[in-house]
């Protein structure tokens, strides 16, 4: 009697701009899994906090905000859409200002505790590809497959500039912002950005999205047979 293949939990971590979200979305489509962008949750909190005039350091107010926050992540053919109080805020979440807020609120234990609980509920049944900063180390340390996706700061700055249509003259400033966020995410006391001890590190500098996906699919296939 044949049995259905085991549905895995795949964790993809890495710094901003390394290509982890592009990889995670493509991998989820290839596997027929659910894609969960954990970073979008922190961006939603940042967006809502800014709109309500809260301070990024006010842990008590932010915790109360999250407890009453109505947001949803909805997979669609073109990718995950994010809704806040029924309104599609996907595009708003991609702005640099919201990204900066997300990085700051993510350092607060009260914020992380609440969002990690939600992330675990979304992925606990398996058949999920989740990306973020601490998926393989904190959210799902028992994940079946773990990847840490990285790229040089210069490469990530170039990608970011192309994405937002920034002139070449702004590359230096964009790279400095990326490096500052890397330091903040890596040096925070709670759930710092780092590769899990058993994660496969993939440097996407100079690689196409298709090449990276092929490499990861091969490793996931090996793990599914184990």
Query: Tokens at residue 139, please?
Result: 């959210």
- Give the integer Cα–Cα distance in Å for 58 and 99: 18
Closest by Cα among 142, 116, 159, 168 to 223: 142
Residue ranges in the chain whose pLDDT is less than 70: 1-4, 78
Helix (H/G/I), strand (E/B), else coil: 34: strand
Query: What does the pLDDT look like over 126-167, one tens digit per residue?
Result: 999 999 999 999 999 999 999 999 999 999 999 989 888 889
Sign of the C-alpha dihedral computed for residues 198, 199, 200 and 201 taken in this order:
negative
CA distance 92 to 145: 31
50 sits in which H/E element: helix 38-51
Structural domains for the chain: 9-219 (3.40.50.300)
């Amino acid at each position: 009697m044949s049995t259905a293949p085991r549905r895995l939990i795949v964790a993809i971590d890495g710094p901003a701009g390394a290509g982890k979200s592009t990889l995670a979305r493509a991998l989820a489509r290839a596997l027929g899994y659910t894609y969960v962008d954990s970073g979008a949750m922190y961006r939603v909190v940042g967006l809502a906090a800014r709109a309500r005039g809260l301070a990024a350091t006010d842990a008590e107010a932010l915790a109360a905000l999250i407890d009453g926050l109505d947001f949803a992540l909805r997979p669609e053919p073109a990718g995950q859409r994010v809704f806040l109080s029924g309104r599609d805020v996907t595009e708003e979440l991609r702005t640099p200002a919201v990204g900066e807020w997300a990085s700051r609120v993510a350092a607060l234990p009260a914020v992380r505790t609440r969002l990690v609980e939600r992330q675990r509920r979304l992925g606990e049944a398996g058949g999920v590809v989740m990306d973020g900063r601490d998926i393989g180390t904190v959210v799902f340390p028992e994940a079946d497959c773990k990847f840490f996706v990285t790229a040089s700061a210069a490469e990530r700055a170039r990608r970011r500039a192309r994405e937002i249509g920034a002139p070449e003259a702004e590359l230096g400033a964009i790279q400095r912002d990326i490096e500052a966020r890397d330091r903040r995410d890596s040096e925070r006391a709670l759930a710092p950005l780092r590769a899990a001890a058993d994660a496969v590190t993939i440097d996407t500098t100079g690689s196409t999205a298709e090449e990276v996906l092929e490499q990861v699919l091969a490793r996931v296939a090996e793990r599914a047979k184990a």
